[in-house]
Chains A and B, each alone.
Chain A
Amino acid sequence: MPRLLPPVPTKLRAKLRATLPAALLATLLAATAPSLAQPADETLDVVAQFEIQAPEPSTSGYIFTRMGLAETLVNAAADGRLEPGLATGWEVSPDGLAWRFVLREGVRFHDDTPMTAEAVANALEIARAKPGPLAGLPIAAITADGDAVAITLTEPLAALPAFLAEFRSQILAPAAYDGDGKGVAIIGTGPYRVTQMTPPLALKATAWDGYWGEAPHIAHVSYTAVSRVETRALMAESGDADFVFALDPASVARLGLSDAVEVHSVAIPRTLLLKVNAAHPFLAEPAVRQALSLAIDREGIARAVLRYPEGAGQLFPPSVADWHNPALEPLAHDIDAARALLGDLGWTPGDDGILRRGDDRFSLTLLTYPDRPELPLVAAVLEQQFRAIGVEVVINTTNSSEIPAGHQDGSLQIALLARNFSLIPDPIGTVLSDYAPTGDWGAMGWDNPAFTALARSLARGEGGAAERAEAARILQEDLPVIPIAWYRQTLAVARDIEGTVIDPWERSFGLPALRRTR
């Protein structure tokens, strides 16, 4: 190509000069890439959606207990049985008012101070002064009593040990709090101690050599908060993270095909439900709530949106063994029956297909929140399913706090939410706060004296399986809330990690039991 000859060398040099940096960068990238992708050490990388706000147990405490940094007096086994934690045992006086939790010996905090009864009482008193389940309990005093902590009640509460298994009841050293009780550092007793914490997204921890129990197999762990579920799934797939918590249904399907990770899934005591304002003129009759329930195609929602095998047949999932009542007829899907029920109450279809009674048009506003990505999707499906029986639903996806706020000022009509029965490992805690008779995240405008009496007596420790079955029956018949699906917790763990156990009570990631096979 003779015509190019004379100018080429300079032109080429000019071109090279311009493109060389980019080319160099690309080469550099390619050369270092393999080493870039591999983590430098053997740290176990955990990724979940929860952001760390501060070293404050009342707000971010569930991250510290899950990561094995802090512990509670009482633990919960997979089946919900309470087990000794930092307390080796507990006893209650015959009148049910004086409790004694005997503390484990030889436990040391991460600052190498011993866990004394005074330190435990201090931590619990601080927790009780902040918003949380302990604050609502009939506790008169928490005091140190030799090698034990004594808790005096003003009325009996059989479920007290379960409340002490909740994350906000975690025991931190006195040095972890400032003068006002605000958390300033995580100085717990767990198998791991914090080495570096950079809120809101990251935390590093290493095995605590003064741990009272068995030492963890993997010495170093890291925690990263990644709020986008798509990113979390990709981190699992690319091998960036070893333990990825909370996956969405679409990612579960895709990760199931991957060689790099194994997807684990377990039923958890959390229910997707429709909160109903039973004081609203349209919704006051139990028959209307039954009609709404009959309009919901639970199997369809479970399979198509959540990719679960089945929908909810009743409020309590089978994993809440004590409260799940297998004798109950499962909630059904029957559009004709729903229409008939509403027709009997005087609702007739108008020109637009929406039911009318006198001047009333059957239109409701449904509140939900985007923090859980499946909620707006399910809300959209419900809108269609309710339209089929002539009920119009206007969806308002907003801040989660609008639901309890709307409950308090009475403006809420219906709300779609996910309720956890395991915050306190004994569901009686949630039953009391939500249904005896109403609660911010439970029943609204509903008052069933028989149920309230039953729940209160169960909380005092009176009654057993028969009473709980009766309570579940009342909830099924009266439908103060309309159950839709039982949740499953899904997570992805790298193939070279074994020993994964999902805690259905969402208290722990189970990191100390994990080990690398390669």
Chain B
Amino acid sequence: MSALASRLVQAVMVAVLIGTATFAMMRALPGDAAWRIAAGRYGYDNVNAQAADAVRQELGLGGPVLPALGRWFADLARLDFGTSLVSGQPVIDEIGHQLGASLQLAVAALLLSLLIGPPLGILAGLRPGGVLDRTLLVLSTGLKAVPQFLMALLLILFLAVHLRWLPAAGHGEARHFILPSLTLALGLAAVNARIARDAMARIAAMPFYRFAQWKGLSPRQALLRHGLRNVSVPLVTYLGLQFVTLVEGVVVVESVFGWPGIGHALVHAIFSRDVPMVQGTALVLGLGFVLVNAGIDLAVRRLDPRVSA
């Protein structure tokens, strides 16, 4: 319970810090915000002094800093994220739409990576130095080294253009999930396969595991009863870190596959100085991070009772 309470305090602190930091950073950026917002709204063909003046007048930009930040926090306390300076739509609606799309993609990628990585890692860890172990080392190092942008294009070229199995990009149908989530999953699997392999090799070499086999359990029984649970502890802990990789990856992958997600939205919002949108998006991502870690704490406690003891 105390763990949850501390996570709650953490969440509030994250909200205050992120809100203030994004606000300060957006204010500190060089260039006139009215011009940037006008460029975001009207596009490069139509941004001119008249459009920038209209934006400045409409939004009352350039007022004092502290009251503006205070207003944002007051609104936030009422769960009002404000409206986007560029599209004029409520920020909460835009984030809701985009976060949903990103979450779907992230969850699909995570599940796919768990299907690919850990099983191979465990098999490799059971026979350290074997053919599978060495192949997996080369493969996972290689996959991790390929930038996601390149991986995405290679997958599109092979699976969509050459074999014509899957759509190259787009959003809205189940088939559109496969390529972007596979792009993300391969990078994640490359790492969690290594984690699973190292954990498995360590555990398989431990006396209790040897004892389990010595007392007559088959390799399968030993793995299921004594191996998997121990391997899953570092794996689950590492998921928290992989969330960061996912958020990074989502920004790149979303722009390549035309996915209407939060990474895409954040990049555009920063470019056109859409302060409420940047604050809202960063806040949601930050709180998401706290939430994921709280969930992982709970999961690890269930998996390994020693932690809470």
**In the bound complex, how far is the Cα of B264 from the Cα of A407, in angstroms?**
31
Chain B residues lying within 8 Å of A369, measured Cβ to Cβ, are 44
Given contacts A14-B219, A238-B161, A59 and B41 within 8 Å (CB-CB): yes
B42 partner, pick from A59, A230, A231, beta carbons under 8 A = A59
Given contacts A136-B50, A230-B153, A401 and B258 within 8 Å (CB-CB): no
Nearest chain B residue, comparing its CB with the CB of A51:
B268
- Judge if A363 is at the interface, Cβ distance under 8 Å: no
Q: Are B47 and A400 in contact (CB under 8 A)?
A: yes
Smallest CB separation, B253 vs chain A (Å): 11
Q: Are B115 and A400 in contact (CB under 8 A)?
A: no
Q: Are A21 and B115 in contact (CB under 8 A)?
A: yes
B257 partner, pick from A22, A231, A237, A239, beta carbons under 8 A = A231
Q: Which of A224, A239, A404, A440 gathers most chain B CB within 10 Å? A: A404
Given contacts A11-B220, A21-B115, A441-B48, A231 and B166 within 8 Å (CB-CB): no
Nearest chain B residue, comparing its CB with the CB of A441:
B48
Chain B residues lying within 8 Å of A402, measured Cβ to Cβ, are 31, 35
- Judge if A423 is at the interface, Cβ distance under 8 Å: yes
**In the bound complex, how far is the Cα of B175 from the Cα of A337, in angstroms?**
60
Q: Which of A25, A37, A182 gathers most chain B CB within 10 Å? A: A37
Q: Are A224 and B168 in contact (CB under 8 A)?
A: no
Q: Are A21 and B119 in contact (CB under 8 A)?
A: yes
Nearest chain A residue, comparing its CB with the CB of B255:
A228
- B-facing residues in A5-37 (Cβ within 8 Å): 7, 10-11, 13-15, 17-19, 21-22, 25, 29-30, 33-34, 36-37
B31 partner, pick from A7, A22, A56, A405, beta carbons under 8 A = A405
Given contacts A231-B258, A238-B161, A14 and B169 within 8 Å (CB-CB): no
**In the bound complex, how far is the Cα of B46 from the Cα of A50, in angstroms?**
14
**In the bound complex, how far is the Cα of B72 from the Cα of A9, in angstroms?**
65
**In the bound complex, how far is the Cα of B48 from the Cα of A59, in angstroms?**
13
- Judge if A126 is at the interface, Cβ distance under 8 Å: no
Chain B residues lying within 8 Å of A199, measured Cβ to Cβ, are 87, 89, 94
Smallest CB separation, B178 vs chain A (Å): 7
Chain B residues lying within 8 Å of A201, measured Cβ to Cβ, are 171, 258, 260
- Judge if A399 is at the interface, Cβ distance under 8 Å: yes
B123 partner, pick from A15, A230, A433, beta carbons under 8 A = A15
Given contacts A131-B51, A228-B255, A399-B31, A238 and B168 within 8 Å (CB-CB): yes
- Judge if A310 is at the interface, Cβ distance under 8 Å: no
Q: Which of A25, A53, A130, A198 gathers most chain B CB within 10 Å? A: A53
Q: Are A19 and B223 in contact (CB under 8 A)?
A: no
Chain B: number of interface residues, binned into ranges? 35 or more
A18 partner, pick from B39, B123, B265, beta carbons under 8 A = B123
- Judge if A132 is at the interface, Cβ distance under 8 Å: yes
Chain A residues lying within 8 Å of B32, measured Cβ to Cβ, are 401, 405
- Judge if A153 is at the interface, Cβ distance under 8 Å: no
- Judge if B207 is at the interface, Cβ distance under 8 Å: no
Q: Are B48 and A14 in contact (CB under 8 A)?
A: no
Chain A residues lying within 8 Å of B39, measured Cβ to Cβ, are 399-401
Q: Are A228 and B156 in contact (CB under 8 A)?
A: no
Given contacts A54-B89, A231-B256, A399-B36, A18 and B46 within 8 Å (CB-CB): no
Q: Are B156 and A238 in contact (CB under 8 A)?
A: yes
Interface flags, A134-157, vs B, CB<8A=1, else 0: 011000000000000000000000
Smallest CB separation, B54 vs chain A (Å): 4
- Judge if B302 is at the interface, Cβ distance under 8 Å: no
Nearest chain B residue, comparing its CB with the CB of A231:
B169
- Judge if B218 is at the interface, Cβ distance under 8 Å: yes
Q: Are B220 and A405 in contact (CB under 8 A)?
A: no
**In the bound complex, how far is the Cα of B165 from the Cα of A426, in angstroms?**
47
Given contacts A19-B119, A59-B42, A405 and B88 within 8 Å (CB-CB): no
Q: Are A240 and B170 in contact (CB under 8 A)?
A: yes
**In the bound complex, how far is the Cα of B158 from the Cα of A234, in angstroms?**
11
Q: Which residues of B contact A (CB under 8 A)?
A: 31-32, 35-36, 38-39, 41-52, 54, 86-89, 94, 97, 112, 115-116, 119-120, 122-123, 153, 156-157, 160-161, 163-175, 178, 218-220, 223, 255-258, 260, 264-265, 268, 271
Task: Provide a sorted-by-A list of 11 A–B residue pairs whose CB atoms are within 8 angstroms.
Answer: A11-B219, A19-B120, A30-B165, A36-B174, A53-B87, A59-B41, A198-B260, A200-B268, A201-B171, A224-B170, A398-B31
Other than the known A182-B88, A238-B167, what 6 A-B pairs have Cβ atoms closer than 8 Å?
Answer: A34-B165, A131-B54, A202-B171, A235-B170, A371-B43, A401-B44
Q: Which residues of A contact B (CB under 8 A)?
A: 7, 10-11, 13-15, 17-19, 21-22, 25, 29-30, 33-34, 36-37, 40, 50-51, 53-54, 56, 58-59, 130-132, 135-136, 182, 198-202, 224-228, 230-231, 234-235, 237-240, 369, 371-372, 398-402, 404-405, 407-408, 417, 420, 423, 433, 439-441
